Amino acid sequence: MKTLTLIALLFASPLVAQEREPNNLLGEASPYLLQHVYNAVDWYPWGEAAFEEARATGKPIFISVGYASCHWCRVMAQESFENEEIGTYLNENFVSIKLDREERPDLDEQFMLVTQNSTGGGGWPNTVFLTPEGEPFFGGGYYPPEAFTALLEEMNSNWRNDRAQVNATAAALGAVVREYLDRKARARLFTADMAREISSQMLGQMDDFNGGFGVAPKFPLEPRLLYLLDQADRNADQTLLEAVQLAAEGMVNGGIQDHAGGGFHRYAVDNEWGLPHFEKMLYNQALIGRLLLRLDALQSNEDFARAARRTFDYVLREMQAPDGGFYATQDADSPDDNGVFREGIYYTWAPSQIREVAGVEAEFLIKALNVEEDGNFEGRNTLRLSYFDGDRARLDAGLEQLRLARLARNAPPTDKKVLMGWNGEMIVTLAQAARAYDRPEYLAAAQASARFIMENMRNGEGYFRSYITGAARIEAQLPDYAGFGRGLVALHDIDPDGGWLIEAARIARFMLDNLHEDGGVFRMSEQVEGLGVFIPLDDGEVASGNAQAQRLLTALARRGEDVVFIQQAAALADILSGNALGQPEERAAALAAVDAQNRGDVGPLRALSNGVVQVWAKIDREAYVVNFTINVAEGWHINAHEPLEDYFIPTALWVNGVELGREAYPKPLITTLAFNSDTPLALYDGELRLSAPVSSGVNVINLVLQSCSDEICLAPQNISFSFWQ
């Protein structure tokens, strides 16, 4: 308890905190809730105690939703929740609940829908009012103290003087939100033509000059970019590739990247990606890192590869606990020399500060990083590479000087929650990066995270969502199970003897037993709380829960012969496409997952033939070849290029529609098999390496193979890869 109290005091006004008694948040584990233990507001955590108090007193409920690294949450706390007059008014007229959105995404999305339907916008802190029975009647966002006081007075007056109207509004608003949360649609086939049309629609929403979607505030919106990248890969579409590259260039060169320390901030507050909102989230590192990996694999870009590696190095250095789990966030704010929390002060620079630490390299860095006397953030500068085209090694050496010097500053607080689903996303990306960049430490970090979760976050047959201060808590939800399951599959693909696939399959069965709805989709959580059943379809900070469930089921179906996974993957794709096609931009991850189920995976790694064959493709741009590594499980083989029997499908490589000659294939093994003992056959087993030449521009390479055992042959498969040289 002493540790928790110290955490709470870190974020409270020290003098006031010592004078006040702690509220009902004392004893909670969430760093966000602990920031508010000594507020003037008598906060409750989410739970029956708060609702019992509201029903007993007849007071309406005020809910404030936020998270530990949220700048405007801290501002509203300092301005309003530390204000004695406002706190007294809240305590006399409302029952107040503090909610950590990172711990309870199911409730967060419900209450964000309330605010979006009330005001047309949304953000955090999220401000919501409920009746004592839990029906919502208004939602808003951040309010300065005068406006917040006026809002409280209005809500209180309406509740006391016009309760019938408040109840009518609550019934109508609750019905709208419930209908959206529990939305269902008829099954609908997602076709290649539909995929192209949706890609065109998304392109029309992009910023053709700065890259990315729309105008400020500009978020990465990684699920949409990854969908477009899938379509570029699938169709060798230069226009789509360039659109995603432009967005990535904006993020990599702009202030949204932490150039000194590595990693990415959550979003930009300007159109040019130059001025970030400074908090750093684990999921952004995973998803932007994955996007950069894919881009670099399709068309070599050292800037993308460099930013990806710097991001992963930062995660291993600053966001991984000694026992393996990855932390959730780092704050936007940090204390200045006077102990006052200020946004971005850790990350921004004045020219004099660079001259002080960089010596003879200072002027080079000032010019390269666009540092000016009157900077773009409160007189200081975010670091940007907008016009740099120089020596990257020299730049990196200078940036390391800045990073080391920055360590003397007061660092932003780190929210040390370990969230199951976000760790799953990081595991997926690090496993891919380990192979792409031959970095075994990335694989080791991913394995350590997975082991930590399996050893510390089990909850009977299921899992807990969150781990902090030595204890796991809060039942895991759909994105946790599906995200972590996908992470285990990614580990299996690079470490097939680690037993990862067994646990991934067990998690998928748990999802089917405990989260599966009669309509074919998955609900968010086992226990339904808040406004009702929640079917997660919209992408948020990560892909929607149902999109991730589709990916997991498809991956398991392609790596084994479990008929349940094969059937459920196909069934979910039909119903999920019907839901996703209604709002394709918000449900891009679902459409990408359905497309992968229906038309096959994209990317450098493919699992084939119920998992007995794995293909890894990597371009060597200096040699102008794509190298394929094909691993065939023991007891299986693929037919040689000339299999010696006409009815066997030969292994073949095609480059831009032209089949490679026999010299492209290695010498086969000549042997007989049980079902064909009188006739010798030519085959490949174990590990096979092939190479295909490429030319400048886009190259479409098709690999055809047929997998057989001693007793049966499976259907032949034709897989396609796109590479730009």
Q: What local confidence, expressed as pLDDT, does residue 293 receive?
A: 97
AA identity, residue 411: A
Task: Supply the DSSP string of 290-352, one letter for each residue.
Answer: HHHHHHHHHB--HHHHHHHHHHHHHHHHHSB-TTSPBP-EE-SEEE-TTS-EEETTTT-B-HH
Q: Distance between CA 235 and CA 146 in Å, rounded?
A: 55
**CATH label of the domain that carries residue 640:** 2.60.40.1250
Q: Does 186 map to a domain?
A: no
CA 277 → CA 188, 289, 666, distances in Å?
39, 18, 54
In a domain, 86, yes or no: yes
Q: Domain containing 433 — which CATH number?
A: 1.50.10.10
Q: Are residues 44 and 160 in the same domain?
A: yes
Residue 307 and residue 443 share a domain: yes
Provide the number of structural domains found in the chain.
4
Question: N- to C-terminal Cα distance for the chain?
Answer: 59
If asked whether residues 572 and 686 sit together in one domain, one would say no
* Residue at 336 is within a domain: no
**Which sign does the torsion angle of CA 633, 634, 635, 641 carry?**
positive
- The helix/strand/coil state of 96 is strand
Question: How much is the pLDDT for 675?
Answer: 63
Both tokens assigned to 425: 């996303």
Which pLDDT tens digit goes with each residue over 341-390?
Answer: 999 999 999 999 999 999 999 999 999 999 999 999 999 999 999 878 88
Range of the domain at 641: 605-724
322 plus 356 within the same structural domain = no
Per residue in 15-32, pLDDT tens?
444 478 899 999 888 989
What does the alpha-carbon distance between residue 524 and residue 546 come to, in Å, rounded to a whole number?
Answer: 9
Work out the average pLDDT over 146-157. 93
Q: From residue 95, how far is each of 114, 579, 716 by CA, in Å?
A: 18, 37, 64
The predicted structure's pLDDT at residue 57:
95
The CA-CA-CA angle for residues 295, 553, 526, to 5°, reads 115
Selection from 78, 97, 102 nearest residue 30 by Cα: 102
Instruction: Name the nearest CA neighbour of 36 among 77, 95, 72.
Output: 77
The CB-side HSE value for 8 (13 A sphere, CA atoms) comes to 25
Q: Are residues 44 and 136 in the same domain?
A: yes
pLDDT of residue 185 exceeding 90, the answer is no
Residues 593 and 703 in one domain: no
Report which of 472, 68, 555, 566 is spatially closest to residue 280, judged by C-alpha positions.
Answer: 68
Please check whether residues 499 and 585 belong to one and the same domain.
yes
C-alpha torsion sign, points 435, 439, 443, 446: negative
Range scoring the smallest mean pLDDT among 84-93, 163-172, 223-232:
163-172
Position 335 in a domain: no
What average pLDDT does the segment 161-186 reach?
84
Token pair of 62, please?
A: 């005020």
Question: Strands, E, within 141-278: which ranges?
Answer: 267-268, 276-277
Helix, strand, coil percentages (3-state) for the chain, rounded to 5, are: 45, 20, 35
pLDDT at 319: 97
Query: CA-CA distance, 530 to 16, in Å (whole number)?
Result: 33
Q: How far apart are CA 12 and CA 25, in angstroms?
A: 13
Here the contacts of 456-465 (C-beta below 8 Å, separation 24 or greater) are 456/323, 456/325, 457/418, 457/420, 461/510, 462/510, 462/514, 462/526, 463/420, 463/507, 464/420, 465/103, 465/419, 465/420, 465/421
pLDDT over 50 at 646, yes or no? yes
Q: Which long-range contacts (CB under 8 A, 24 or more apart) does 523-529 make?
A: 523/478, 524/105, 524/106, 524/109, 524/477, 524/478, 525/106, 525/475, 525/477, 525/478, 526/462, 526/475, 527/475, 529/106, 529/107
- Token pair for 79: 């301005």
Residues of the chain with pLDDT > 70, as a percent, come to 97
- d(Cα 317, Cα 409) in Å, to the nearest integer? 17
Domain boundary among 548, 570, 599: 599
Question: 172 and 76 in one domain?
Answer: yes
Give the type of residue at 326.
F
Q: Which of 581, 599, 617 is the last residue in one of the domains?
A: 599
Do 435 and 542 share a structural domain? yes
The mean pLDDT of 584-591, rounded to a whole number, is: 95
Pairing of strands 636-639, 681-684: antiparallel
In terms of DSSP bridges, do strands 95-100 and 61-66 run parallel, antiparallel, or are they unpaired?
A: parallel
Mean pLDDT confidence for 618-632: 94
361 assigned to some structural domain: yes
In a domain, 146, yes or no: yes
User: Are 421 and 545 contained in the same domain?
Assistant: yes
Q: Which sign does the torsion angle of CA 582, 584, 588, 593 carry? A: positive
- Band (pLDDT 50/70/90 cuts) for residue 676 is low
Tell me the three state secondary structure of residue 392: helix
Predicted confidence (pLDDT) per residue in 432-480, tens digit = 999 999 999 999 999 999 999 999 999 999 999 999 989 999 999 999 9
Average pLDDT over residues 238-258: 97
Please indicate, yes or no, if residue 340 is contained in any of the structural domains.
no
Contacts of residue 377, defined as CB under 8 A and 6 or more positions apart, other chains included, come to 275, 344, 348
Q: How many other β-carbons are positioned within 10 Å of the β-carbon of residue 40?
A: 22
Global pTM exceeds 0.85 = yes
The average pLDDT across 48-76 equals 92
Task: Report the 10 Å Cβ neighbour count for 454.
Answer: 15
Mean predicted lDDT score pLDDT of the chain? 92
Q: Is residue 617 domain-shared with residue 594, that is, in the same domain? A: no
Clarify whether residues 559 and 420 are in a common domain. yes
Predicted local distance difference test score (pLDDT) of residue 16: 47
Of 224, 425, 393, which Cα lies nearest the Cα of 302? 393
- Cα angle value 42/44/48 (rounded, 5°): 140
C-alpha gyration radius of the chain: 27
Choosing from 408, 423, 447, the residue where a domain stops is 408
210 occurs within a structural domain: yes
Tokens of 386: 């907008």
> How many angstroms separate the CA atoms of 419 and 415, rounded?
11
596: burial class by Cβ within 10 Å (0-12, 13-18, 19+)? buried
